[in-house]
């Protein structure tokens, strides 16, 4: 017998074909039975089977790498077309196009990591259309890496992975911004330096998402946020150092030293939150060190951005001005962190936290029509309550503790950058209004975007009415007007789990259209619609088997985009890149640049709908 992978595949295929007309034949079971009999009769050894399995695994790994690059579009993203489109705009329209974010990448986690770093690199570096020699070299490397496995998945491992992915994404956004500003410089030579492009946003919930997880202590979230602050401050300082290497400037050196000093302090603050934060004494010491007024402390980039703007306006060296404009854009987009952060809790946790304040039973009363009025009145009359880290330490209610954490982050770490507060399995408008009440109670409503997640069958069915009810409540409308956006989250992955992926996809498109109609009816011209679409990398988690552009059009279809366009509502679409495999899109600088540019290219496409299509 021929003991090769191809022979085994042929044998299985013959069994499958032979049993095609017999519903009682299970080809996998029959193949396994025949192989076991070969083992029993000595026709094949376990070593032979092991070798064949390794061959098949290597072939499957190569097929996976091929498929990844196929989905990533074999052709260039076509960014040049978008830049050409910019060339047709006047200055105000140009500013609107590049400064108003229309698409975003959100780096999510959960323990979905299955590939070792070596395997991820191999997939990212697969030699598409390469010579046979390069392909043989790649297969040799893959063969030696095939047996490598992750030893364990910890929160720290997840965070290390996401930081590397985000760093490459930031580099890619910077390159995109550079192309945009160079286009502006050629077209508007006297005013291009006033532009601060922010075409693609970056966000993460790794370390902040408590929906379905119990392994993240609030102190770990503080430590992670401080580590991210230190990393970003050092990134800003390094960018200035690159300028100073070629051109000594006392003003820039002073800013660079200020950023570096603040970064070193943030690193020390993070280390204080690395201890056992169930120990009150350790919490007190860490909190005191964080809140202590020090000369190096920096909780806002606004003064530095203003100073940079003054330097840019007086700078005669265009290349230096361009580099400073890129740094300013990054500061505006990310603030004192590597990306904007999303905190997530479950709707049940929010309802439990509101039980005493609103006098509503969390299991029944929140779904009553009067519950929204009760929550709205409470939000209208609430007074700000001062809290500290002791309050966070003592609080037992998860939702309250997370909102207190928002308050401490805004007060002591980054006062400028907005925070997204996601509420999973959100079925009742009163839950959202109750969260707004808590946000006002803790003084964070000015920087917090509360986003209900529509994923359950009830939410899918009643989501349109849910949104309409919120948009006729004066307190809610006042909240979204102040924030300038109405944010919702769509759960492609969990909706598929609840009602099936095909049904979920249709229900999600319907819900997005109803969102557009509700916002159009509410007549809020200065409020953007922000939809965060969560999905995984497989079809079962809501992704798409086609190209990258098809995948993005699946999450927010051209028909959906046309409806927002028709209602005169600006649409900002975010999508998730889920742990492990999702980060492959940012595994190296080449892939990262391509991903960011395809995101923007796809978001810039103007849909041409057929409104006569009855379906």
Tens-place pLDDT, residues 116-134: 888 889 999 988 777 888 8
- Please determine, for residue 469, whether its predicted confidence score (pLDDT) is greater than 70: yes
Provide the pLDDT for residue 497. 82
**Cα–Cα distance between 443 and 93 in angstroms, integer?**
36
Closest residue by Cα to residue 408 from 294, 216, 273: 273
Q: How confident is the model at residue 153 (pLDDT cuts 50, 70, 90)?
A: confident
For residue range 508-557, list pLDDT tens digits in order: 999 999 999 999 999 998 999 999 999 888 877 888 888 888 888 899 99
**Cα–Cα distance between 120 and 143 in angstroms, integer?**
14
Provide the pLDDT for residue 136. 87
| Three-state DSSP string of 289-334 | HHHCCCCCCCCCCHHHHHHHHHHHHHCCCHHHHHHHHHHHHHHHHH
- Please determine, for residue 342, whether its predicted confidence score (pLDDT) is greater than 60: yes
Q: What is the DSSP string of 145-196?
A: HTT---S---HHHHHHHHHHHHHHHHHHHHHHHHHHHHHHHHH-TTTGGG--
Closest residue by Cα to residue 523 from 486, 497, 575: 486
Provide the pLDDT for residue 615. 65
Q: How confident is the model at residue 68 (pLDDT cuts 50, 70, 90)?
A: confident
- Structural contact between residues 193 and 310, judged by C-beta atoms closer than 8 angstroms: no
Q: What is the DSSP string of 524-553?
A: -TT-EEEEEEE--SSGGGT--SS-HHHHHH
Average pLDDT over residues 166-193: 95
For residue range 296-307, list pLDDT tens digits in order: 999 999 999 999
Collapsed DSSP state (helix, strand, coil) of residue 102: coil
Report how far Cα 464 is from the mean position of its chain's Cα atoms.
24
Beta strands 340-346 and 200-204 are parallel
- Please determine, for residue 3, whether its predicted confidence score (pLDDT) is greater than 80: no
Buried b (16+ CB within 10 A) or exposed e, 274-285: eeebeeeebbee
Beta strands 448-454 and 528-534 are unpaired
Provide the pLDDT for residue 76. 52
- Please determine, for residue 346, whether its predicted confidence score (pLDDT) is greater than 80: yes
Q: What is the DSSP string of 31-68?
A: HHHHHHHHHHTTSS-HHHHHHHHHHHHHHHHHHHHHHH
Query: What does the mean pLDDT of the chain come to?
Result: 89
- Please determine, for residue 1, whether its predicted confidence score (pLDDT) is greater than 60: no
Provide the pLDDT for residue 323. 95
- Structural contact between residues 68 and 123, judged by C-beta atoms closer than 8 angstroms: yes
Average pLDDT over residues 135-158: 83
- Please determine, for residue 69, whether its predicted confidence score (pLDDT) is greater than 80: yes
Q: What is the DSSP letter of 577?
A: E
Collapsed DSSP state (helix, strand, coil) of residue 487: strand
Beta strands 571-578 and 528-534 are parallel
**Cα–Cα distance between 609 and 429 in angstroms, integer?**
32
Q: How confident is the model at residue 80 (pLDDT cuts 50, 70, 90)?
A: low
**Cα–Cα distance between 325 and 19 in angstroms, integer?**
67
For residue range 212-230, list pLDDT tens digits in order: 788 889 999 999 999 999 9
Tokens of 229: 């602050």
- Please determine, for residue 602, whether its predicted confidence score (pLDDT) is greater than 70: yes
Buried b (16+ CB within 10 A) or exposed e, 413-449: bbbebbbbbbbbbbbbbbbbbbbbbbbbbbbbbebbb
For residue range 283-323, list pLDDT tens digits in order: 999 999 999 989 899 999 999 999 999 999 998 899 999 99
Minimum mean pLDDT among 66-70, 96-100, 506-510, 566-570: which range?
66-70
Single pTM value for the model: 0.92
Q: Residue 349 belongs to what H/E stretch?
A: helix 347-358
- CA distance from start to end of the chain: 57
* Burial of residue 592, with CB atoms counted within 10 A of its CB: 0-12 exposed, 13-18 middle, 19 or more buried: buried
- Please determine, for residue 266, whether its predicted confidence score (pLDDT) is greater than 60: yes
């Amino acid at each position: 017998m021929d003991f090769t992978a191809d022979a085994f595949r042929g044998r299985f295929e013959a069994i499958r074909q032979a049993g095609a007309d017999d519903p009682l034949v299970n080809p996998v079971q029959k193949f396994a039975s025949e192989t076991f009999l070969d083992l029993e009769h000595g026709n094949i050894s376990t070593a032979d089977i092991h070798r064949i399995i390794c061959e098949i695994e290597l072939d499957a790994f190569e097929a996976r790498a091929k498929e990844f690059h196929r989905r990533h579009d074999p052709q260039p993203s076509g960014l040049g077309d978008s830049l050409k489109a910019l060339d047709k705009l006047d200055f105000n329209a140009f500013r609107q196009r590049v400064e108003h974010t229309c698409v975003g990448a959100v780096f999510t986690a959960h323990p979905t990591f299955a590939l070792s770093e070596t395997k991820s690199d191999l997939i990212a570096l697969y030699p598409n259309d390469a010579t046979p020699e390069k392909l043989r070299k790649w297969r040799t490397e893959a063969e030696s890496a095939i047996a490598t496995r992750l030893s364990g998945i910890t929160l720290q491992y997840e965070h290390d992975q996401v930081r590397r992915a985000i760093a490459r994404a930031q580099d890619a956004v910077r390159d995109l911004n550079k192309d945009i500003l160079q286009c502006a410089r050629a077209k508007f030579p006297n005013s291009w330096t006033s532009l601060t492009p922010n075409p693609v946003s970056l966000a993460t919930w790794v370390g902040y998402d408590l929906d379905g997880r119990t392994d993240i202590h609030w102190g770990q979230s503080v430590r992670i946020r401080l580590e991210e602050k230190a990393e970003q401050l050092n990134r800003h300082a390094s960018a200035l150092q690159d300028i100073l290497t070629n051109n000594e400037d006392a003003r820039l050196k002073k800013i660079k030293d200020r950023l570096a000093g603040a970064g070193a302090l943030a690193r020390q603050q993070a280390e204080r939150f690395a201890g056992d934060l169930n120990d009150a004494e350790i919490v007190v010491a860490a909190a005191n060190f964080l809140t202590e007024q020090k000369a190096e402390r920096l909780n806002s980039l606004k003064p530095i951005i203003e100073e940079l703007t003054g330097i840019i306006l007086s700078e005669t060296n265009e290349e230096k001005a361009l580099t400073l404009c890129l740094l300013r854009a990054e500061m505006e987009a990310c603030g004192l962190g590597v990306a904007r952060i999303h905190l997530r809790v479950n709707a049940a946790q929010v309802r439990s936290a509101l039980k005493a304040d609103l006098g509503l039973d969390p299991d029944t009363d929140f779904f009553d029509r009067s519950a929204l009025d009760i929550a709205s009145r409470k939000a209208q009359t609430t007074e700000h309550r001062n809290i500290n880290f002791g309050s966070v330490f003592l609080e037992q209610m998860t939702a309250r503790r997370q909102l207190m954490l928002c308050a401490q982050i805004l007060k002591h770490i980054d006062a400028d950058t907005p925070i997204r507060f996601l509420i999973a399995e959100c079925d009742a408008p009163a839950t959202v209004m109750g969260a707004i009440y808590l946000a006002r109670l803790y003084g964070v409503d000015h920087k917090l975007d509360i986003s209900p997640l529509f994923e359950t069958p009830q939410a899918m069915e009643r989501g349109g009415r849910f949104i309409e009810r919120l948009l006729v409540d004066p307190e809610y409308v006042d909240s979204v007007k102040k924030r300038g956006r109405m944010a919702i989250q769509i759960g492609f992955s969990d909706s598929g789990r609840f009602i099936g992926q095909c049904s979920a996809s249709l229900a999600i498109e319907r819900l997005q259209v109803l969102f557009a109609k509700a916002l159009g009816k509410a007549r809020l011209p200065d409020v953007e619609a922000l939809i965060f679409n969560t999905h995984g990398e497989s079809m079962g988690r809501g992704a798409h088997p086609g190209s990258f552009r098809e995948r993005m059009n699946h999450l927010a279809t051209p028909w959906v985009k046309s409806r927002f366009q028709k209602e005169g509502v600006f649409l900002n679409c975010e999508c998730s890149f889920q742990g492990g495999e999702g980060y492959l899109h940012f595994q190296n600088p080449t892939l990262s640049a391509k991903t960011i540019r395809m995101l923007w290219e796809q978001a810039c496409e103007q849909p041409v709908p057929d409104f006569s299509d009855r379906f």
